[in-house]
Amino acid sequence: EIMRHTLETALYPQPELSLAAAISLLAVVTGRKVTDAFGARTNCYILGLDLTGAGKDHPRLKNKEYMLHIGAQPMIGPERIGSHAGIIAHLDNQPALLCQIDEMGKFLATCKDPKKSPHLYNVTTVMMQLYSSSKSLWVSDAYADTKRTKTIDQPHLVVYGTATPDSFWSNLSSENISDGLIGRLMAFEGRGYEVEMQEPAALPIPESILEPLRWWMEFKPGGGHLGGQHPVPR
């Protein structure tokens, strides 16, 4: 249903990217609320690839619209990452967070060079640690000032990044593959300029979408009085 509404309201309807965005939306609203027998959570790192001007922006914008309508504005994370400390600070304030990042290829390229961008060099490492720590406590860097060391219970970072195929693949390094970053990404490739332009439908978001999203927002599993700080996922 989310895909259908996103496609109906798009200038360039891209089914694969609409699916990718819908998964990331559901991933964040179910964050810290469900698990499986292996302890897996719904913290997804998702990548949408398509050509310039082919409709990558619309699914991201619709995600924000859905979240605003259900009162999930605190879960809308930054769209640019300035440092690994920035990610930690936002998750410390809001443990379930959706970061929608455009130009993901250029971002990875910047993260590769510790001399040019030392503040970004540790971002991918922290992202991988957070991914693996979603069912546990994650403790940040040790500082002389202990107040700067953050402890996050069940961090739930969801990333939906978009990029052009050339920009993304050309900026990957062998280190990205060997260190496990690529293994954590779900990549969806759009249809490029094969998609025909349409007149976007000016439709309100159906209540059949908003009602279950609100249900997930209100669902507080286990944990008693500490459910917000230390949830026990269903």
Q: How much of the chain, in percent, has pLDDT values that exceed 90?
A: 68
Q: Which of 2, 14, 6 is nearest to 50 (CA)?
A: 14
In angstroms, the CA 117 to CA 101 distance is: 18
Q: What pTM was estimated for this model as a whole?
A: 0.91
CA distances from 15 to 37, 45, 64, 170, 208 (A): 31, 18, 18, 25, 20
pLDDT tens by residue, 177-230? 777 778 888 999 999 999 999 999 999 999 999 999 999 999 998 765 555 678
Residue 143, token pair as written in the block: 């500082």
Q: What is the pLDDT of residues 142-171, one digit of tens each?
A: 776 777 788 999 999 999 999 999 988 887
Q: Which candidate, 141, 127, 137, places its Cα nearest to that of 230?
A: 137
C-alpha angle with apex 14: 26 to 158, nearest 5 degrees?
Answer: 30
Q: What's the pLDDT tens digit per position in 89-144?
A: 999 999 999 999 998 887 777 777 767 677 777 888 899 999 999 999 999 877 76
